[in-house]
Structure 1
Amino acid sequence: MSAKVLKYKCEVCGYEYDENLGDSQSNISEGISFKDLPHGWRCPVCGADKDRFFEVKVPSLYS
C-alpha cells in the first residue's frame, strides 16, 4: 500500500485541506490540488498563509 498526499495540515490550528473535498468556505471546488489553490488563499480557520501547511500522507487503498 503506497501513500498519496491528498491532505495538507495547517501547522497553526490543525485545519486539514483535503483535495477531494476542496474548501467550500472559500468557494474552492473538490478535486483542486493544494498547489493549484489561488495565491491569496489562506486557512479558513485561522487565516494562516499556504506556506504554514505541511503534507499529510494518506494511505491509498487502491495501490
Structure 2
Amino acid sequence: MKYICTVCGWEYDESAGCPEGGITPGTPWSEVPEDFECPLCHVGKDSFEEA
C-alpha cells in the first residue's frame, strides 16, 4: 500500500518504509507512529491519504 501527503505529494510506500525517519521497509501504515511527519513538508500523519 502507498499513502500520499496531501500537502506536497510525498509518497509513503509500505514496502520501502522511511529509513531516514527510522521506519523500516515493510512497516504497514497502521504501525507508523502517530507523531510521524512528512519528511518534505513536516505535516502530520493525518495529512496523508491512501493512494
Tell whether the structures are fold-level matches, with TM greater than 0.5. Answer: yes
Q: 2 CA distance for matches of 1:33 and 1:42?
A: 15
- Runs of 4+ in structure 1 over 3 Å off: none
The alignment of Structure 1 onto Structure 2 pairs a total of residues equal to 51
Task: Give me the TM-score of the superposition, normalised by structure 2.
Answer: 0.93
Q: 2 CA distance for matches of 1:23 and 1:9?
A: 13
Residue of structure 2 in register with 1:7 after alignment? 2
Q: Which residue of 20, 27, 43 maps to 2:38?
A: 43
Task: Give me the TM-score of the superposition, normalised by structure 1.
Answer: 0.77
Which has a greater percent of strand?
Answer: 1
What runs of 5+ residues in structure 1 fail to find an aligned partner?
1-5, 57-63
Identity level (%): 41
Bigger relative CO (Cα 8 Å, ≥ 6 apart): 1
RMSD: 0.6
